Chain A
Amino acid sequence: MIERLIRLPAVNANDNTAMLVEWLVEDRSPVTNGAPVAYIETTKAAIEIETPIAGYCAHLHQEGEKLPEGTVIAVILEHADERIDPYLQLIEPKKNEQAKQWTKKAELMAEKLGVDITKLAEELGRQVKESDVLTYRDPGNTIIDLLDDQYPDSRYERVLLIGGGGGGGILALDAISRTHHQRAVGILDNNSTLAGKTAMGVPILGTNNMAKQLWDEKFFDAAIIIVTASIEQREALFHDLLSEGIKMTNVIDPMAQIRTHCSLGVGNLIMANCFLAACVKLGDNNFLASHVCIEHHSVIGSHCTFGPRTTTSGAVTIGDRVKFGMGALIEPYLTIGDECVIPSGSILTSSIAPRTLLKIKRNYTE
C-alpha cells in the first residue's frame, strides 16, 4: 500500500517546504505509470511530480497549499471508487500517545530531592507537577494552625515571612509576636498546598515568587527569610528579594541581647537568649538559633546558620555561608573560612580553611 502514496520530494537544499501549485490530473482520474500528476514550486525551482504506479489519483491537498517535505499529497488508488481511509491510516501519525506522567521540571526536582516519581505518579493518578513533588517532600503542613494570635496594629513594621510554611515559620512568628514593633502580615511558601491556610493567625498567601507583587502592592514593609536547611536557597532568595527592591528586616527575639557597638546587616533572624557581645559585627541574612553566643569583637559574614548554643570566644572571624550544628565551641582569634560546615559539638582550637567539611570523632560507634 505504501508504494501508492505520492510524497512531496525534497527538491533542493534550500527548502523544507514546497507549494502545491497545480494538479495536473483531476481528483480520482486515471493515471498511467510515470505520468505527471502535480506541479510544485520551491524557492529555487518548479517541478512536476510523477506517479510511479498506475491507478486513480486521489488528491489529499488543495492547490496553493504550502507543505513540508515528505507530505503525502496523493494516493494512487487501484479502483476509482476505492475507499481512501485505509491509506489515511498509514499516513496519520500515531495518536493516543500516552500523556506524559510527569513534567520534566517535576522529574528533575524529584531526582534532586530523592522522591520516587513513579510511585508518586501512581498515587496521584494524574500528571505529576513540580508542586506535587515539593508537597510530597515537605512536612510543613503538620504544624499549621497551632494557635491563633492577633497582632496589635500599633506595631509599625509589617513583616512578610518568606519560606515560612514549616517549623521555622512558627519559630519566627513566636519571636515576632514578642517584639514591640513588628507584626507578621503574611507567609509565603513554595509548598503550594499550604496556600489559604493560616499559621498563628497569619495567612499563607502563596509561593515565594509572589513577594514582588505583594511589595508593589505595599502589603508589607519588610521581609525575612525563614529557610534554614539550605544555605544555597537562603542566599538565592536573599539576592532575588534585594534585586526586586524588597526591603529586608532583622527579626530579633526580645530575649536576645545585642550589646553596645554591635552592627547588624539585614535579614538576620536571631532567636531567644542569643548574646552578641560588645563590638560584634554581623553581616546579612544569618540565622542564629537560641542560645548562640558571639563574643566581643567577632566578625560574622553573611548567609550563615548557627545551631542552638553555638559559642564563639572573642575576636573570632567567620566567613560567609558557614553552617554550624549545635553547641560548637570556637576559641578566640580563630578564622573560619567561607562555606565551612562545622558539626555539632565541635571544639575548634585552630583556624579552618574555606570550604572545609569538618568531621569529628565521636565517643560512640554507629
Chain B
Amino acid sequence: MITFLESLQNSLLASFDKDDRVLLLGEDLIDPYGGAFKVSRGLSTKYPDRVISTPISEAGFTGIAGGMAMRGLRPVVEIMFGDFLTLCTDQIVNHITKFASMYPGVTVPLVIRTPMGGGRGYGATHSQSLEKMFLGVPGLLVVAPSLAHNPGKLLEHAILHEESPVLFLENKLLYGQEILSESTDNLHLEYIETQHGYPTAVVHNLPETKPDVCILAYGGASRLILDIMNRYIDEEISIKAIFPSLLKTDVSADILGAIRGCSSLIIAEEGSAGFNWGSEMAAIIYEVLHTTLKKPIFRLAAEDSIIPCAKNLEDEVLLTTIKLEHAITEILA
C-alpha cells in the first residue's frame, strides 16, 4: 500500500539518484518544508545543490529551467498551484514548446509539475483545473495520472526519458489516497500502452459481466469513480472506467476497443464545462463509434463558474460522486 504522494516522492528521489542532470526549481521546496504539498520532502537534504528554491517568479524560473533543458540538463519545475501556470504561460507557449521546432538540434526535456483541483476550500484562485488551457498547445505533453496509475513511474519516465516538455498534473485530493493495486484491490485493473511510458488504465468492477456503463475520465475524477465502482459491486452495476494518463492522447484502436463493448459512455472531468477535454474526446469517439453507442455521450464537468470556498457551495460547482451517480442512474433507467 502506497499513497499517490509517496509514489511521487519516491520517484522524484529516484530520478535524482539515477541521473545527476536532474534538478528541481520552485518555491518553498527546501526541507523541512519540502514544498507546499510535500512532493519534494527530503530531496534538498540529500541533494542540497540540486533543489533550487526560487523567489515568487514563475515566469523567471520556468524560463531559466527551459534554458537549462536546452543546454543539456533535465530540470523539473514545481508550480505551487496549477492556477499559477498563467504566470509562466508565455514561457510555455511561446518559448519552451517552440524551440525544438524553431532551432535545429534543440530539445527541451523539461517537466513542469503542478497540483490541480478543488475540494479543499482553497477558493477561486487555488482550486482550478486549468488543463484545458494547455491541451491545445502544440509540442506540449499534458500528463495527469489517476489513482489507477503508478504516478511515480509516469513522473520518472517524463523526467528521465522524455525529450519534449511535459506538463505533469497532480490532483490535490489524490495526494493522500492509496493508489490502486493490481493484486490487492477488488477492482480488476489492466493497462493499454498507447504511447510509450503513458499507459491508459482500464478498471472494471465486475469484469465477468458486460459493462452497464463505461466512464472515460482522468486524474482527480478517478477518486470519485473508483469509490462508486467499489460500492456498486454489491449493487450489480457493472462499470468499466478508462483513465488515459496522457490527456492529448491518441484515441487508439485499443482505447476505442475498450469503449466499443459499452452501450453508454460518460466522459467526466473536474475542469469546468465547455470547450474542455471531454468535448474533444466525445468528438473523436463519435466519429468512430456513432453506430455502436446506443445513447448520446453523457458529459460531466464542473460548472462553468468560479469555485467558491464554502464546502457546500464548492460541491455544487465541482464534479462529485452524487453527480456521477445521478448520471449513471439516468443512463440505466
Q: Which residues of A contact B (CB under 8 A)?
A: 13-17, 43-44, 100, 103-106, 108, 111-112, 129-130, 209, 232, 236, 239-240, 243-244
Q: List 8 A-B contacts (CB under 8 A).
A: A14-B36, A14-B172, A104-B232, A104-B235, A104-B236, A104-B329, A105-B332, A112-B333
**What residues of chain A lie closer than 8 Å to B122, measured between beta carbons?**
13
Which residues of B, 79-132, contact A by the 8 Å Cβ criterion? 120-122
Whether B261 lies near A243 (C-beta < 8 A) is yes
A297 to B121, CA, bound (A): 69
Cα distance A243–B120 in the bound complex, in angstroms: 44
Q: Which residues of A contact B36 (CB under 8 A)?
A: 14
Closest to B35 in A: A43
Q: Are B294 and A103 interface neighbours, CB within 8 A?
A: no
> A130 is contacted by which of B121, B176, B210, B236 (Cβ under 8 Å)?
B236
Partner of A13, one of B120, B235, B237, B260: B120
Cβ of B121: which chain A residues have Cβ within 8 Å of it? 13
B294 x A232 contact (CB < 8 A):
yes
Contact of A236 among B38, B294, B329 (CB under 8 A): B294
Q: Which residues from chain B contact A111 at a C-beta distance below 8 Å? A: 333
Interface size on B, residues (CB 8 A): 27
| Cβ-closest chain A residue relative to B33 | A44
CB neighbours of B37 from chain A (8 A): 14, 43
Smallest CB separation, B63 vs chain A (Å): 29
Chain B 1-50 interface residues, beta-carbon cutoff 8 Å to A: 5, 36-38
Contact of B210 among A106, A112, A232, A240 (CB under 8 A): A240
Residues of A within 8 A of B235 (CB): 103-105
Decide yes or no whether B287 CB sits under 8 A from chain A: no
Question: Sorted from nearest, which 7 A-B pairs have the closest CB atoms?
Answer: A105-B236, A104-B235, A103-B236, A43-B38, A103-B235, A13-B120, A108-B332
| Cβ distance A215 to chain B, nearest Cβ, rounded Å | 14
| Chain B neighbourhood of A243, CB < 8 A | 260-261, 292
Find A14's partner among B120, B209, B236, B263 (CB 8 Å cutoff): B120
Does B190 sit at the interface, judged by CB under 8 A? Answer: no
A209: which B residues are within 8 A, CB to CB? Answer: 209-210
Q: Which residues of B contact A130 (CB under 8 A)?
A: 236
